[in-house]
């Protein structure tokens, strides 16, 4: 049963990443009257298909890929009047950007939904107690409600604020246990060498419907910032091993392994990971590399600047070379992923 759960979780993750991305391209192509030959989710053997309005809709066996075949983008079909290349530049750019945009929207929805599942109006709700730390040794347990600290009503982040204001000074904390019994504890924080003091208590953040929605909208932008910082650290050698080290680039196999770990940690960790991967997929596709959406956008912009189109056959060949290079890189990274997992070097995922 656990193995089945892992399989469903991994397949579901890839579908949540791939299906909206391709649906974004598809929706804008249809909006701008581009002839869509096929809209496929998955790769390999066709499991299901139907034709409607001149488009073949298909679900294929392996959910790690997907594609939208548009008219005018293949040899012998370049002159299709309803093909992709015969549309205005701004329309082509929007079609290309719709895939990454869909990934960002999915991430917003997932992260906002995660916040909605954790609505909390109590600024003193205890959710974690670190074993061996002063709070746990004193008698705190998850589910307690803190009402006052040093006689003052508790507010979001107030416990840490009091600790920071008077490092090491004992705190008088009052509240109610989950069984309704009131308590008052005197807790003395422990401080590290930087004089940062803690009592080992985790209080749930206050989460409202509004804050959950705002956090959801902001999540892709914050995640992109973290991704850019991470890439910078890899490229500049700040991360041991660099881009191909244990904490370097990860391919489909590594992503599947991380997803399996997230499944075992529960729904909230799994949803957070999928939201993060959705942002990563959208961001990666915006990079100006051949065969990626960003690379194709660059081609359209260059055509606008030079005021004439490129030779379509040559462009197609360049895109094929770019795709072959990306697949080769993915293959190398997949081999590294297998080695990392086999040797226990893969860092996994923590949230």
Write out the two tokens for 344: 């226990």
Instruction: Pick from 57-66, 146-155, 210-219 the range whose average pLDDT is largest.
Output: 210-219
pLDDT value, residue 68: 95
Round to the nearest angstrom and report the end-to-end CA distance of the chain. 25
Given a cut of 90, whether residue 215 has pLDDT beyond it is: yes
Q: Confirm or reject CATH 2.60.40.10 for domain 126-203, answering yes or no.
A: no
Q: Is 22 a catalytic residue?
A: yes
Catalytic residue among 22, 38, 79, 188: 22
Angstrom distance (rounded) from CA 44 to CA 50: 16
The DSSP code sequence of 16-70 is HHHHHHHHHHHHHHHHTTPPEEEEEEEEEEEEEEEEETTEEEEEEEEEEEEEEEE
pLDDT digits (tens, 9 = 90+) for 18-43: 999 999 999 999 999 999 999 999 88
Angstrom distance (rounded) from CA 234 to CA 183: 49
**Residue extent(s) of CATH 2.30.42.10 domains in the chain:** 126-203
pLDDT value, residue 170: 92
Q: What average pLDDT score do residues 274-299 get?
A: 94
Listed range (50-59, 198-207, 342-351) with the worst mean pLDDT = 342-351
Give the C-alpha distances (Å, rounded to integers) separating 184 from 124, 146, 160, 180. 14, 9, 18, 13
pLDDT value, residue 242: 67
**Residue with more model confidence, 64 or 138:** 138
Burial of 302 (0-12, 13-18, 19+ CB in 10 A): exposed
pLDDT value, residue 90: 97
Write out the two tokens for 199: 């009592």
């Amino acid at each position: 049963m656990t193995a089945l759960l892992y399989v469903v979780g991994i397949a579901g993750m890839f579908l949540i990443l791939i299906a909206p991305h391709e649906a974004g391209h598809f929706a804008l192509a249809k909006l701008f009257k581009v002839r869509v030959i096929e809209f496929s989710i998955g790769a390999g053997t066709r499991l299901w298909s139907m034709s409607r309005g001149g488009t073949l809709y298909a679900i294929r066996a392996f959910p790690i890929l997907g594609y939208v075949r548009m008219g005018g983008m293949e040899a012998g079909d370049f002159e299709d009047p309803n093909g992709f290349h015969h549309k205005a530049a701004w329309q082509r750019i929007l079609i290309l950007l719709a895939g990454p945009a869909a990934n960002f929207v999915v991430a917003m929805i997932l992260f906002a939904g995660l916040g909605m599942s954790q609505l909390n109006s109590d600024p003193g709700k205890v959710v974690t107690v670190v074993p061996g730390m002063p709070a746990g040794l004193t008698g705190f347990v998850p589910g307690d409600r803190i009402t006052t600290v040093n006689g003052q009503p508790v507010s979001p982040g107030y416990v840490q604020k009091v600790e920071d204001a008077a490092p090491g000074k004992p705190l008088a904390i009052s509240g109610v246990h989950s069984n309704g019994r009131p308590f008052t504890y005197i807790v003395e924080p422990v401080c590290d060498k930087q004089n940062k003091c803690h009592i080992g208590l985790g209080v749930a953040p206050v989460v409202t419907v509004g804050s959950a929605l705002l956090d959801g909208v902001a999540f892709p932008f914050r995640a992109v910032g973290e991704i850019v910082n991470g890439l910078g650290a890899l490229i500049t050698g700040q991360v041991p091993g660099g881009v191909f080290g244990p904490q370097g680039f990860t391919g489909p196999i590594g992503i599947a392994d991380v997803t399996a770990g997230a499944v075992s940690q529960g729904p909230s960790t799994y949803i957070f990971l999928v939201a993060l991967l959705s942002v990563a997929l959208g961001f990666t596709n915006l990079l100006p590399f051949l065969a990626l959406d960003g690379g194709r956008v660059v081609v359209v912009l260059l055509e606008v600047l030079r005021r004439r189109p490129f030779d379509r056959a040559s462009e197609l060949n360049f895109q094929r070379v770019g795709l072959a290079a990306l697949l080769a890189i993915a293959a190398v990274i997949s081999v590294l992923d297998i080695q990392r997992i086999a040797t226990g070097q893969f860092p996994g995922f923590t949230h």
